[in-house]
């Protein structure tokens, strides 16, 4: 099982208020705990009513494609899409909307137990600190064989990973996505990213220092 936790409330509300946005709420998977009441309260506080879609199984690309087609007329005018879901759902939607910023509103945490069935082309390690908002919706932990957070290692050749030559370099993919979003300078504006392993939950308990 896994749980999702809403990111900093003030930042999410600011993002909801300052942009022409569309919101997806994914509550379909019974193996995931979603803070639905908290999310609805947050959306009400931000005054977001008409541009919200409640969906399920956003992690399945065929479902996400149908959601896109259903809301295509609204999405084509959106400056950003804010998603309340696990990390897989965010990555799948970002792939479908490569030229629109897809912003995660939740962090995903791991708890022992059955995880459900998720898309094969995207993965979430449930690290408890989602980075997809600064990497164009491509996870640096799962797409990079070394899990680097601040850029490529320098060993990639012709866009392929030095660890596995059959694997695309995750940071090349991230760079290409950020260029498409016209946000290639976004990473340079951030301080050095350091992964906090204390956020990883095992067996429902916080990891020790």
Q: Is the pLDDT of residue 169 over 70?
A: yes
Which overall architecture, per CATH, does domain 2-132+193-206 show? 3-Layer(aba) Sandwich (3.40)
Give the CB-side neighbour count of residue 184, counting CA atoms within 13 A. 7
Strand, coil or helix: what is 109?
strand
pLDDT cut 90: percent of the chain above it: 45
pLDDT digits (tens, 9 = 90+) for 116-137: 555 556 788 888 889 898 899 9
Asked if the model's pLDDT at residue 60 lies above 70, the reply is yes
pTM score, whole prediction: 0.83
pLDDT value for 118:
53
pLDDT value of position 70: 96
pLDDT in the model for residue 135: 92
Which pLDDT score is estimated for 23?
95
What are the φ/ψ torsions at residue 139 (nearest 5 degrees)?
A: -75, 120
% pLDDT > 70, the chain: 84
Give tens-digit pLDDT for 63-111. 999 999 999 999 988 999 999 998 999 999 999 999 999 999 999 887 6
Report phi then psi at 9, rounded to 5. Answer: -55, -45
Ranking 48-52, 98-102, 108-112, 188-192 by mean pLDDT, the lowest is: 188-192
Q: Give 3-34 pLDDT, tens digit per residue.
A: 888 998 888 888 887 678 999 999 877 667 78
Which residues fall within 8 angstroms of residue 72, CB to CB, at 6 or more apart?
Answer: none
- Per-residue exposure over 157-195, b if at least 16 CB sit within 10 Å of its own CB, e if not: eeeebeeeeeeebbbbbbbbbbeebeeeeebeeeeebeb
pLDDT at residue 200 is higher than 80: no
* Lowest pLDDT segment from 44-48, 111-115, 165-169: 111-115
The set of residues, in sequence order, having a beta carbon less than 8 Å from that of 106 and lying 6+ positions away, is 4, 5, 6, 7, 83, 84, 85, 86, 130
Which own/partner contact pairs does 94-99 have at CB distance under 8 Å and 24+ positions apart?
94/132, 94/136, 94/137, 94/138, 94/177, 95/61, 95/121, 95/122, 95/137, 96/61, 96/64, 96/65, 96/68, 97/68, 98/177, 98/180, 98/181, 99/180, 99/181
Task: For CATH 3.40.50, list the domain ranges present in the chain.
Answer: 2-132+193-206
- At 209 the pLDDT is 44
Which pLDDT score is estimated for 75?
92
Instruction: Give residue 119's pLDDT.
Output: 53
Name which of 54, 65, 60 is nearest 117 in CA terms: 60
pLDDT at residue 16 in the model: 84
Q: For the chain, where are the E strands, in sequence order?
A: 2-6, 21-26, 32-33, 52-55, 80-84, 102-104, 106-110, 201-202, 205-206
């Amino acid at each position: 099982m896994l749980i999702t936790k809403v990111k900093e409330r003030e930042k999410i509300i600011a993002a909801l208020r300052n942009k022409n946005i569309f919101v997806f709420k994914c509550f379909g998977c019974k193996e995931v705990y979603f803070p639905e009441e908290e999310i609805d309260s947050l959306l009400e506080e931000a005054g977001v009513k008409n541009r919200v879609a409640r969906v399920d199984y956003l992690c399945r690309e065929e479902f996400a494609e149908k959601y896109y087609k259903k809301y295509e007329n609204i999405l084509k005018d959106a400056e950003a899409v804010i998603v309340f879901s696990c990390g897989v759902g965010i990555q799948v939607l970002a792939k479908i909307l490569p030229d629109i910023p897809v912003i995660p509103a939740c962090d995903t945490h791991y708890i022992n137990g059955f995880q459900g069935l998720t898309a094969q082309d995207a993965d979430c390690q449930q690290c408890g600190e989602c980075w997809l908002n600064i990497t164009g919706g491509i996870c640096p932990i799962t797409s990079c064989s070394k899990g680097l957070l601040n850029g490529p290692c320098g060993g990639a050749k012709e866009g392929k990973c030095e660890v596995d030559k059959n694997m695309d370099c995750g940071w090349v993919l991230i760079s290409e996505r950020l260029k498409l979003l016209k946000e290639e300078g976004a990473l340079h504006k951030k301080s050095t990213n350091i992964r906090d392993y204390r956020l990883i939950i095992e067996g429902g308990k916080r990891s020790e220092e």
